[in-house]
Structure 1
Amino acid sequence: MPVLPGAEPFAHDGSEDIGVLLCHGFTSTPQSMRAWGEHLAAEGWTVRCPRLPGHGTSWRELERTRWRDWYDAAEGSLQELQARCRSVFVFGQSMGGTLALRLAQQHPEIAGLVLVNPSVTTRRRTAALLPVLARVVPSIAGLGGDIAKPDAVELCYDRTPLRALASLRELWQLVRAELGTVRRPLLLYRSAVDHVVEPVNSTLVLDRVAGTDVTEVVLQDSHHVATLDHDAATVFAGSVEFVQRIDRVGEVA
């Protein structure tokens, strides 16, 4: 299907020292990560932000995809960066954070993670009914566009396909079960007000990962899509400082 204007993947070839993989959220597109990617590219780093399968076209196409499709695309970009760069970091927002955690579980050689409002669970009562509901209800109202900044817009679907959402729930379960295998440095940004991902998600991640270099930053002026919100500059600058610090420690070691 034709890709929506603005939903194209982002790629920049820079340094062979540092590479960064960006993973966007469920029903969203690389548009939500592009400004972040451009900021990282301005540092001279090599950056990849793939358009995950089923995203950036039609929610009906997303309905036909599953979490392994999204993971495989992210892993392919990771491997491309690893073949080119000495040190590779993975950044993810929302479901992109879920994918980043899974990549860290499967690829412990990743240098570090930066997560923005990552999702690993939900307390909504309907979640347990998703496998059944998905058989009779194709979609529900969209989850995207949760931004406090009035003039900011997220390019995302206005419908949420339930079969794909049920598959995301399976990924959550897998990632939660193996959070203790994540040992790499982690910087987690959590919005104080998030209408999509509950605070328990960040709590679970912070409490269960095994790394000793783990930092949480609470964003007071942004909602879920913080990379397009008031605190975007804070996220961008902090992620650069994080990479520089971790890479510097690695060089000394």
Structure 2
Amino acid sequence: MANPDHMAPFHADGGPVGILFCHGFTGSPASLRGWAEQAAEAGHTVSLPRLPGHGTVWQELNVTSWRDWYDRVDAEYRGLQERCDQVFVAGLSMGGSLALRLAEQHTDVAGLMLVNPALGAVDPMARFAGVLKYLVPATPSIGNDIALEGVDEGAYDMTPVYGVHELFKLWTDVKSVLDLVTCPLILFRSTVDHVVPGTSSDTILRLVSSADITEVHLPNSYHVATLDHDANTIVDQSLQFVERVAAAPVA
């Protein structure tokens, strides 16, 4: 079981650069806690919220909508805006989808750091969630797709089908205006991912309007790469990205 303390929200006051961390579907802040803590140790102001319907019982995800998830990260982003000169957004899986939507809605997002961002699912049945939600409340868990043994992201042991349908609504919304994303972007993608197809990252890289794009391949990690063998690569390269972009003159 994941450390209960790591499943709770995490916030740290730091310097003028803020970083908002967005965890994935059925997951918890535990999946990003180490990354967020190291960002705080580097002197940044950090916000890692727990999204509505997560970190409790899976049934709660069957009574929350994608707008509930987005409203939470939007509120956290606005809070960082008030305290920081620049705000970056990091996201894992669905958290990447939410990060992209923030950049679509807020032209002042300083940069995006995406890890295996989701705009679709490997499971072919997921697309039928809108019908299946009336037949079954949940299916087996999609959590803990991690190559490193003995690691737990604090995900639910079931996948709420109503929530999956909401996830598809979020993806449809985000994909429709990806060209509105113009900020610098670093995208980390695992060579092997059993949850999100590689086409998600391909679509993002093809449709965003960002001129500054860095793609980093993670050869030794599965979907939850932030807790896997390549976690240090993600931390190191993302913090270098933040330092570089934050120091660049504003166009």
Please tell me the residue identity of whatever aligns with 1:146: D
Matched, 1:130 2:129: yes
User: Equivalents in 2 of 1:154, 1:123: separation in Å?
Assistant: 19
Match of 1:206 in 2: 205
Q: Is the 8 A contact 2:122 2:194 kept in 1?
A: no
The DSSP-based 3-state class of the residue aligned with 1:89 is strand
Higher mean Cα deviation, 157-166 or 242-251?
242-251
Match of 1:222 in 2: 221
**Residue-by-residue CA offset, 1:31-56 (whole Å, 9 max, x unaligned):** 11110001100111100000000100
User: Equivalents in 2 of 1:53, 1:47: separation in Å?
Assistant: 19
Q: Is the 8 A contact 1:25 1:95 kept in 2?
A: yes
Q: 1:118-197 maps to which residues of 2 (within 5 A)? A: 118-122=117-121, 124-197=123-196
The alpha-carbon deviation at position 128 of structure 1 amounts to 3.2
Please tell me the residue identity of whatever aligns with 1:14: G
Match of 2:94 in 1: 95
**Residue-by-residue CA offset, 1:155-181 (whole Å, 9 max, x unaligned):** 110101000110010110111111111
The alpha-carbon deviation at position 93 of structure 1 amounts to 0.2
The alpha-carbon deviation at position 207 of structure 1 amounts to 0.6
Match of 1:10 in 2: 10
How many residues align? The count is 248
User: Equivalents in 2 of 1:196, 1:164: separation in Å?
Assistant: 15
Q: Where do 5+ consecutive residues of structure 1 fail to align?
A: none
Structure 1: 4+ residue segments shifted above 6 A: none
The DSSP-based 3-state class of the residue aligned with 1:91 is strand
Match of 1:106 in 2: 105
Match of 2:234 in 1: 235
Q: Alignment identity in percent? A: 48
Matched, 1:246 2:248: no
User: Equivalents in 1 of 2:198, 2:124: separation in Å?
Assistant: 16
Q: 1:57-96 maps to which residues of 2 (within 5 A)? A: 57-96=56-95
The alpha-carbon deviation at position 5 of structure 1 amounts to 4.9
Give the TM-score, by structure 1 length: 0.96
User: Equivalents in 2 of 1:126, 1:95: separation in Å?
Assistant: 18
Q: Is the 8 A contact 2:122 2:195 kept in 1?
A: no
User: Equivalents in 2 of 1:56, 1:113: separation in Å?
Assistant: 24
User: Equivalents in 2 of 1:179, 1:213: separation in Å?
Assistant: 15
**Residue-by-residue CA offset, 1:194-240 (whole Å, 9 max, x unaligned):** 01011111100001101110111110000000110000000001010
CA RMSD in angstroms, aligned pairs only: 1.1
The alpha-carbon deviation at position 153 of structure 1 amounts to 1.7
Please tell me the residue identity of whatever aligns with 2:9: P
The DSSP-based 3-state class of the residue aligned with 1:136 is coil
The alpha-carbon deviation at position 21 of structure 1 amounts to 0.1
User: Equivalents in 2 of 1:123, 1:151: separation in Å?
Assistant: 24
Relative to structure 1, the CA distance from residue 32 to residue 123 in structure 2 (aligned partners, 3 Å threshold; closer, same or farther) is: closer
The DSSP-based 3-state class of the residue aligned with 2:32 is helix
Q: Where do 5+ consecutive residues of structure 2 fail to align?
A: none
Q: Is the 8 A contact 1:143 1:160 kept in 2?
A: yes
The alpha-carbon deviation at position 125 of structure 1 amounts to 3.0
Please tell me the residue identity of whatever aligns with 2:11: A
